Structure 1
Amino acid sequence: MGDLSRYQAVWLDVRRRDPVLLSPLALTAVIGFLTVLTPHDVPFSRLLPAAPALAASVWSVRATLALGLICLLPVVGYALVLSDMTTLYTAGAIGAVTLAAVYASHLRLQREHTLAQVRAVADATQEVLLRPVPDRVRNLEIATLYLAAAPQARIGGDFYAAADTPHGLRLILGDVRGKGLRAVGAAAAILGCFHEAAYEAADLPRLAHCLDTTFTRYDNAFPAEDTSERFATAVIVEFPPDGAHVSVLSCGHPPPLLVRDGATRAIEPASPSPPVNLAGLIGSEYHVERIPFTRGDLLLLYTDGVTETRDADGAFFPLATWTAHTTAASPSALLRTLHQDLVRHSDGNLDDDIACLAVRDAPAVTVPGPA
């Protein structure tokens, strides 16, 4: 309930600042002004039912009813004073539309409340699946980006996680084949395993084997709806506590990008490793790349939703070139700029889930002591 109340408070604050909320009053004022200034045979007052009808889309039940009465009472008084039956018909129309508008406002508020509940649950689910990643672990700055392709969605088949273990900082980022709730369930199974096995597995191949076993069990318990094989691609990296290198294990995933001194290098594995849940079919040989990682280096992990983003002409987003030319000073700035440029490149039509992790070796933050 706390998450729901927080979401509703933010939503109400946004609504209060929306100038559209004044449109019913503005419409009422314009119609009233024209009614007073024009001759009686030009019945602008017949447009007054539009004001409560408009209010139903943006106002509460009470406010909609109040505006309807504001429109109705002067018209009724005018009709009774002048015994004008035509104006009484207008008053009847205002009353009928006001009642319908009040009911419509009630239904709208119910649906908005339901939507707030659904979004609060989705936000809570995302926080459980995609646990917050720390901004800094020792000398490493970390930033994340997650964009779900489905409209209004908060989660999808892409995933990431971090674990500060005795073996060092371990990160995973991946993409479950397929979409929908089954993909989310598979991502949840992988992440649940990672958060446990990352602390116990002695090396990255053993960690990858644990992930494969967990996915296989999940796949057996919840078979895919079609006959195709279900799997996930993933990249697992490890930054040891004492060492100027990073270990990378890519399970069929797009290669991470290493940015060093303005140059970008794709970390391609010398030998392929099987995607998660395919080790039983193509073998369980996992190969780890060990790459130097020193002060100022930046490692970017991403899903194929980034590189497969197309522009109006069908051209893919040139991530490697973009990364080499970016001037972002931190991982968070890099991902903010990447988000903006992806939206610009696709003209706002991102049609796949996107997940990114950026890590940079930066100087340790020192807190000055008392003078």
Structure 2
Amino acid sequence: MTDVTDAVRAAGAEWFPATAETSMGGDLHSVRSSPYGLRLLIGDVRGQGAAAGAGARAVLDAFGTVAAEAPTLETVVDALEAAVRRHASTRTDEEGAEDFVTAVVAEIGPDGRALRLVNRGHPAPLLLRPDAVHVLAPAESGPPLGLRDLSPAGAWSLAVPFPPDATLLLLTDGTTEARDADGAFYDPVSRLRGHVGGDPQAVVRTLRREVRAHVARRLDGRPADDMALLALRATHPDPAPAPAPAPAPASG
């Protein structure tokens, strides 16, 4: 099989906790290699603090187990759905029955040229190109993980090319719902138009800096939400050179 880590370079993955009292909140991300491509996960567990952190760990453990071997992206998503339900069933508090996780699960094909994703109630990823920022939104966003019974079927997946000049950005609502003192949301689509084509780590640094500056002007004293960012750029291998023509036979 093709080693997708040679075709796609994962860079810029960072997680930013919103509260000082916990080392892990509800935002999560992970990248795993498989025979079917590079599998990506970004998600946000309902709530904050230790309970959200435990839910995030349950989802990450399930993803780490299934992503490397599952034959389809839907199989991966189904395993995460089951993991959220199992974790919710172990909680003894009343909020356990309302556990859910918004998530995007994506796959970059073995040659690094095709991208497919399933969205379960999560902010849409962005595809940064030199000329534009594209919002990767399926025809319909599915229900969050753990709440599939609310909508058992739907067009939740999207397949698009992953060009060599593109950077894929997955993010959580700590970015898209960050408000300033006037209540205005931070808009990553408009803000990133000047940074398209950049290195994934530079994209993450830009968002981190700008979101912190955006919410720093808030007057209500409330902390910002957790923020997770995962940026990747395709590094397509150069095609193999054509073989040199065989020498012509000597005449005479």
Q: Distance in 2 between matches of 1:204 and 1:232?
A: 17
Q: Which amino acid aligns with 2:226?
A: D
Per the alignment, residue 154 of structure 1 pairs with: 23
2:228 maps to which of 355, 358, 364: 355
Q: Deviations over 1:300-335 (max 9, x none)?
A: 100001011111211110111011122673001111
1:251–1:275 contact (8 Å) kept in structure 2 = yes
Per the alignment, residue 225 of structure 1 pairs with: 94
Higher strand fraction (1 or 2): 2
The ranges of structure 1 where at least 4 consecutive aligned residues each deviate by more than 4 angstroms after the TM superposition are: none
C-alpha displacement of 1:218: 1.0
Q: Distance in 1 between matches of 2:9 and 2:189?
A: 21
Q: Distance in 2 between matches of 1:228 and 1:325?
A: 43
C-alpha displacement of 1:181: 1.3
Per the alignment, residue 137 of structure 1 pairs with: 5
1:205–1:286 contact (8 Å) kept in structure 2 = no
Q: Distance in 1 between matches of 2:217 and 2:60?
A: 29
Q: Which amino acid aligns with 1:233?
A: T
Q: Distance in 2 between matches of 1:162 and 1:290?
A: 19
Number of aligned residue pairs: give it.
230
Over aligned residues, Cα RMSD in angstroms? Answer: 2.1
Per the alignment, residue 243 of structure 2 pairs with: none
Q: Distance in 1 between matches of 2:201 and 2:112?
A: 24
User: Map of 1:201-212 to 2, 5 A cutoff?
Assistant: 201-212=70-81
Give SS of 2:81's match. Answer: helix
Q: Distance in 2 between matches of 1:292 and 1:229?
A: 36
Say whether 1:321 aligns with 2:194: no
1:235–1:249 contact (8 Å) kept in structure 2 = yes
Q: Distance in 2 between matches of 1:140 and 1:330?
A: 13
C-alpha displacement of 1:137: 2.2
TM-score for both structures, normalised by structure 1: 0.58
Q: Deviations over 1:128-147 (max 9, x none)?
A: xxxxxxxx922323221211
Q: Deviations over 1:22-60 (max 9, x none)?
A: xxxxxxxxxxxxxxxxxxxxxxxxxxxxxxxxxxxxxxx
1:165–1:198 contact (8 Å) kept in structure 2 = yes
2:131 maps to which of 262, 265, 271: 262
C-alpha displacement of 1:177: 0.7
Q: Distance in 2 between matches of 1:314 and 1:342?
A: 13
Per the alignment, residue 344 of structure 1 pairs with: 213
Q: Which amino acid aligns with 1:338?
A: L
1:204–1:288 contact (8 Å) kept in structure 2 = no
Counterparts in 2 of 1:243 and 1:338: CA distance versus 1, 3 Å: closer
Q: Deviations over 1:59-87 (max 9, x none)?
A: xxxxxxxxxxxxxxxxxxxxxxxxxxxxx
1:209–1:284 contact (8 Å) kept in structure 2 = no
Higher RCO, Cα 8 Å, sep 6+: 2
Counterparts in 2 of 1:281 and 1:223: CA distance versus 1, 3 Å: farther
C-alpha displacement of 1:172: 0.1
Give SS of 1:271's match. Answer: coil
Q: Distance in 1 between matches of 2:112 and 2:172?
A: 27
Per the alignment, residue 194 of structure 1 pairs with: 63
Give SS of 1:159's match. Answer: strand
User: Map of 1:1-371 to 2, 5 A cutoff?
Assistant: 137-142=5-10, 143-151=12-20, 153-226=22-95, 229-242=98-111, 244-283=113-152, 285=154, 287-326=156-195, 329-347=198-216, 350-362=223-235
Q: Distance in 1 between matches of 2:133 and 2:152?
A: 31
Q: Which amino acid aligns with 2:110?
A: P
Q: Which amino acid aligns with 1:357?
A: L
1:233–1:276 contact (8 Å) kept in structure 2 = yes
2:128–2:196 contact (8 Å) kept in structure 1 = no
Q: Deviations over 1:284-309 (max 9, x none)?
A: 55632111111110111000010111
Q: Deviations over 1:159-181 (max 9, x none)?
A: 00110111110010000011121
C-alpha displacement of 1:243: 5.2
Q: Distance in 1 between matches of 2:55 and 2:96?
A: 17
Gaps in structure 2 of 5+ consecutive residues: 239-252
Give SS of 1:247's match. Answer: strand
1:262–1:325 contact (8 Å) kept in structure 2 = no
